[in-house]
Amino acid sequence: MNHEKPLKKHRLFYILLIIVSLLVVLNIRLFWIQVAASRSWTSRGIDLVENSVIQREQGIVLDSGRGDFYDRSGQPLTGREIPVLTVFPVHQDKGKAGKELNRRIADILHVPESVWIQFVGPLKSPRVWSVDGAEVALNERQIAQISELGLPQLAVTRLKQRYADSQLASQVIGFIGQDPNRITRQYTDQIHRGELQLTSKIGGAGLEKTFEPWLQGIGATSVSLFTDAAKHPLPGLDARIVTPQNGYYPVKVVTTLDTAVQRKIEQAMDALQIRDGAVVVLDAANADIVAMASRPDFNPQHVDLQQGAWRNRALKSAAPGSIFKTVTAAAALEERAVKPDDMFECTGELGKYGLTCWNKQGHGRISFREGYAQSCNIVFAKIAEKLKGATMEEYARKLGLTVPVGWQGDFMQASDFRELDAEEGGQVFAGSTPKEDGGVKAQSAIGQRDVMITPLEAANMVVTLLRQGKVLSPRIVKEVRFQNGRLMEAFAEKRVGGLPGGISAGTAKTLLSWMDDVVDHGTGKSLQSAKWSLAGKSGTAQVTDKSGSPRVNQWFIGYGPTEHPAYAAAVMVGGMPETAANKSLPLFKEVMDILASSAVQ
């Protein structure tokens, strides 16, 4: 028995020795695994220390990675970058040094110390320095002063703002917002691939919506600061910016808009206090949209879906009044129902239809051609008696007034892609209207009753006349390019499909000369003082507002300069009191003067 006890002790010693040896070998193995992993991670730009504190990373997105819109010359319409101060929540020094630091920072930012403390005090997550909810752009002096402080919790970064405070062409561009139902319905594949979440912001209207699948980026650019559990910045780990390394994304959507012209037209609308209306300017050569402005104004950073200012009035149909006489005239000339010098008697009213002329005293004996220049209702009501309602409808279609005319076609495997979101088509008669009734034809011939046209259709009708009866399809986006400039997709100029043959070149030329008469001695005489010689057609449509009160829509469509037409335009001022001064004529003049000045520069 005495010999067995030492033997047991020796056995226990050897067992413990074997266990310790195994632990030493295991630790050596783990050490070499960490070294190898460290080398591997470092080679891929990942630091072991960074990995160890990843759960305490505090970051903020500076750029969502979404593609941007540009004007025809490459000027950005969205995605303005501004230098900002990104502030990270760290442990606050409550002593004298901390108070002095707060005073210095407030002095750099040109705000009272109390304002800075109110901002930074309750901070629990990174934020961009802002005042009254708006991010503040830093100037060069402030950037230098903040950098001199050398504080890890303060980082000067570049923030990409999707929209400007006063966004140009806001209704054209639209807005982005959360729409889980639509994401579930339309972007299931992107959800499965992790590219979208139900809370992701997607295009809700305008170009943001139509180009959504191609605007989605491949990742955000963010800035992060690493801290320990007590919110102390980790030594050697300054704020780091992480951005996707890809030369192709985000994409650039190049529009046909002219930034300078767009801005001046919007300013002109505001100066004339246009609260409801639209302006469309088209290139006379190819119908490209040079400018498209809508009122009431709209801020895509604060969207009120119920209020409706986000809707683009240039794409919404409205009663056109006498500009529709252009269609009636085209039908009468093409069908040889009336000759230009045929005479009519205007006494100021047409009793059997209860229709009156704007000239209550009447125009007396007046020719068809002169009736167009003077916008005589009686002349066109009598012409309607010589036409079938179906014929008037046919010519409205030939001139592109009953269908959406914006660019449509194949794009990235979408067979029915439309550039312009929610564009409406016009109409001549409502579905149940007896279109061959005499009174219906008389009212329709002067652009009343059921007749509806969009400002885009109206401007495009002028281009149709200038292009000898060919109905072109207006583009607002001409190409999409990758970030490196390589072409992704181009939208070729094209005509509107599915229409019957257009009007003859001779009739188009006649109507253009009659538009010249309107300015020379007709209802558009006030345009003679414009920088360019102009031609066009006026229109006033009687409508009612939501309360049933009488209102009018004021229109003018036309082109200039008459010698060598460069632009066609339509302006519509909606919902004006019946006795209000006409704003469509001064607005059209201002638009054309802007274009004239732009052409000289």
**Per-residue pLDDT tens over the stretch 491-518:** 999 999 889 889 999 999 999 999 999 9
The mean pLDDT value for 339-346 works out to 97
d(CA 544, CA 488): 47
Q: So what's the pLDDT on residue 537?
A: 98
Q: What CA–CA distances, in Å, run from 351 to 342, 360, 437, 444, 494? A: 22, 13, 15, 16, 46
pLDDT-derived band at 203 (thresholds 50, 70, 90) equals very high
72: helix, strand or coil:
coil
- Give the type of residue at 414: A
**100-146 per-position pLDDT tens digit:** 999 999 999 999 999 999 999 888 888 999 998 889 999 999 999 99
Per DSSP, the chain holds a count of helices (H) and strands (E) of 19, 25
Place of tokens 């005499």: 438
Which one-letter DSSP state was computed for residue 227?
B
Give 376's contacts (C-beta < 8 A, 6+ positions apart): 344, 346, 357, 359, 363, 366, 370
269-284: b or e for each residue (b if 16 or more CB lie within 10 Å)? beebebebbbbbbbbb
Spatial CB neighbours of 443, under 8 Å, sequence gap ≥ 6: 353, 355, 381, 449
Domains and CATH numbers, the chain: 54-255 (3.90.1310.10), 259-600 (3.40.710.10)
Mean pLDDT of 152-163: 93
The confidence score (pLDDT) of residue 257 equals: 98
pLDDT-derived band of residue 56, with 50, 70 and 90 as boundaries? Answer: very low
Closest CA to 375 of 386, 366, 385, 387: 366
- Percent of the chain whose pLDDT exceeds 90: 72
